[in-house]
């Protein structure tokens, strides 16, 4: 997967997150968690794009670490929403699986970048 494909994949991911959040029931906890989920999931793509424009290998590694953290946070809020709602279970499960795949890609990319750095 090249960087263009990954940029598109992260964009599709956040769009799917937004669509699911729009279908969740209204309530204080769901509303708070949904907003936080949208923030961290949209940060995945935004920070990955920033990593692609890194000025050095060290800068790339640091920015990609932020992407990893945002992806992990996204998984956390997806898991919370799955547990407190009865809506969209299959869709949330699918998003969790996609987030875990993205996380694995970012972790592997970071390891590769670190090994090339020396």
Each of the 118 residues of the chain gets a pLDDT tens digit; together they read 799 999 999 999 999 999 999 999 989 999 999 999 999 999 999 999 999 999 999 999 999 999 999 999 999 999 999 999 987 899 999 999 999 999 999 999 999 999 987 6
Token pair 């992806």 is found at 71
Q: Is position 103 within any domain?
A: yes
Q: Give me the pLDDT at residue 118, please.
A: 65
Residue 105: which domain range?
3-113
Asked whether the beta carbons of 85 and 93 are under 8 A apart, the reply is no
Q: Is residue 118 part of a domain?
A: no
* DSSP-derived secondary structure letter, 56: S
**What integer pLDDT is reported at residue 86 of this predicted model?**
83
The answer to whether position 46 is within a domain reads yes
- Res 68: pLDDT: 98
In a domain, 100, yes or no: yes
Give the span between the Cα atoms of 34 and 20, in whole angstroms. Answer: 9
pTM, 2 dp: 0.94
Q: Which CATH number covers residue 47?
A: 1.20.1440.60
Domain count along the chain: 1
């Amino acid at each position: 997967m090249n960087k263009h494909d990954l940029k598109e994949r992260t964009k599709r991911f956040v769009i799917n997150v937004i669509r699911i959040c729009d279908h969740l029931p209204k309530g204080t906890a769901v509303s708070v968690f949904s907003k936080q989920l949208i923030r961290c999931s949209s940060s995945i793509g935004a920070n990955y794009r920033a990593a692609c424009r890194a000025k050095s290998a060290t800068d790339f590694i640091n920015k990609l670490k932020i992407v990893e953290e945002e992806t992990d946070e996204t998984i956390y809020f997806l898991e919370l929403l799955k547990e407190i709602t009865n809506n969209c279970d299959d869709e949330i499960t699918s998003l969790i699986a996609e987030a875990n795949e993205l996380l694995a890609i970012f972790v592997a990319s970071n390891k590769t970048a670190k090994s090339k750095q020396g």
